[in-house]
Amino acid sequence: MRIEVARSAGFCFGVKRAVQLAFEAARTTGGPVYTLGPIIHNPEVVAELARRGVRAVGDPRRIKNGAVIIRSHGVHPRVLASLQRRGLAIIDATCPFVTKAQRAAAALRDEGRQVVIVGEPHHPEVVALKGYAGRNSLICDRRPVRVKSRIGVLSQTTVSQEDFIGALLSFGRQAADIHIFNTICNATQIRQQETMDLAQRSDLMIVVGGRNSANTSRLAELCRTVGKPTRSVETEQELRPAWFAGVRKVGVAAGASTPASTVERVVRRIRGLTTGKTKAESRKRGGKHSVRGN
Ligand code: SF4
């Protein structure tokens, strides 16, 4: 059986940067270090950071002193202002692409437009973006929304182009004056396209990533839209030998918050399961496996 790993599988630029900043803070900051929510949607990385003294906290009011890392999704400006007022050290790991979207939202708001954000209402990036977009702003998640006649439109960075265009078409029927910022992240587009291409030439897709990672779930969804059987796993432990019966080629994709080491372990385990080799044997073979036949 052949195994092919999507070239873009694993950390994107923004996540890599945030994780590096968090590990650096663990090494160099004397006092307590917190992240507002898990730094990435990956339990293994979050647990490793916790072991090194970087704790994820849901409620910013619980942080009394020390340093706070703002994760790649960014944070609502009100929360940021309150952290600053309380004299906490801020380590800003907001992805520069997300910062750009926040600036665009503020610019559209300042033009006096109703800002419409295409994305998932409860996603932390969208919650933060809405803070910059102002009180009149709206979030559009695949369901139709009524918009005013003068609007500004942007999106969550991980939205698919199809969803963004679909939303724009529906706004075009209602609004007379529309200013559009395309804030979809290139890394997301490339990853989604590569994953769909890989799904098309595979018999089975394994999508690796945290269950609460929106971009990982989206990859699995896209694989299914091209009609391929798809399994989502967080770790290699979840793989089942029965999934691979009759499969000649398996594609492996991973979300932006999945470490390369997790992808490698998944590939090793697939190879071990499908060749009947023991874990130790398959580890010994290790090495590169971007495309490999057995
Ligand atoms: S997906 Fe794009 S916008 Fe989001 S963190 Fe990664 S690089 Fe930044």
Catalytic site includes residue 125: yes
Mutate to test the pocket of ligand 1, among 75, 126, 158 (most ligand atoms within 8 A of CB): 158
Q: Provide the percentage of residues in the chain whose pLDDT is more than 70.
A: 94
Burial of 114 (0-12, 13-18, 19+ CB in 10 A): buried
Q: Residue 28: pLDDT above 80?
A: yes
- For 283, the 3-state DSSP assignment is helix
Ligand 1 in contact with 14 (CB < 6 A)?
Answer: yes
Helices (H), the chain: 13-28, 43-51, 77-85, 96-110, 124-133, 161-172, 186-200, 214-225, 260-275, 279-285
Of how many residues is the chain composed? 294
- Check: CATH 3.40.1010.20 for 2-10+188-292? yes
Provide the pLDDT confidence category of residue 283 given band limits of 50, 70 and 90: low
Q: How far is the C-alpha of 52 from the C-alpha of 195, rounded, in Å? A: 34
At residue 142, the pLDDT reads 83
Atom of ligand 1 nearest to the CA of 97: 3
Tokens of 215: 């971009």
pTM of the predicted protein model: 0.81
Q: Residue 289: pLDDT above 80?
A: no
Provide the residue ranges of all domains of the chain, joining segments of one domain with +: 2-10+188-292, 13-94, 97-184
Residue of the CA atom closest to atom 7 of ligand 1: 14
Choosing from 120, 125, 236, 264, which is the catalytic residue?
A: 125
Ligand 1 in contact with 72 (CB < 6 A)?
Answer: yes
Ligand 1 in contact with 187 (CB < 6 A)?
Answer: yes
Q: How far is the C-alpha of 263 from the C-alpha of 68, rounded, in Å? A: 29
For 202, 244, 253, the CA distances from 227, given in Å and listed in that order, are: 11, 17, 16
Tokens of 286: 């290790």
Q: Residue 271: pLDDT above 90?
A: yes
Provide the pLDDT confidence category of residue 188 given band limits of 50, 70 and 90: confident
Provide the pLDDT confidence category of residue 277 given band limits of 50, 70 and 90: low
Element counts in the chain: helices (H) and strands (E): 10, 13
For 55, list phi and psi in degrees, rounded to 5: -105, 140
Cα within 13 Å of Cα(124), Cβ side? 20
Ligand 1 in contact with 15 (CB < 6 A)?
Answer: yes
Pairing of strands 138-140, 230-233: unpaired
Write the pLDDT tens digit of every residue in 219-261. Answer: 999 999 999 999 999 999 999 999 999 999 999 999 998 999 9
Tokens of 5: 């790993």
Q: Residue 194: pLDDT above 90?
A: yes
Helix (H) or strand (E) holding 205: strand 204-208
As assigned by CATH, the class of the 13-94 domain is: alpha beta
In the chain, the N- to C-terminal Cα span, in Å, equals: 5
Place of tokens 């432990």: 237
Q: How far is the C-alpha of 273 from the C-alpha of 237, rounded, in Å? A: 11
Q: How far is the C-alpha of 30 from the C-alpha of 10, rounded, in Å? A: 31
Fold match, 2-10+188-292 / 97-184: yes
Which CATH entry fits the domain spanning 97-184: 3.40.50.2300, 2.40.10.10, 3.40.1010.20, 3.90.550.10? 3.40.1010.20
Give CA angle at 198 (196, 203), nearest 5°: 105
Q: Is the dihedral of CA 157, 131, 24, 215 positive or negative?
A: negative
Residue of the CA atom closest to atom 5 of ligand 1: 14
Residue of the CA atom closest to atom 8 of ligand 1: 14
For 239, list phi and psi in degrees, rounded to 5: -70, 140
Residue of the CA atom closest to atom 6 of ligand 1: 14
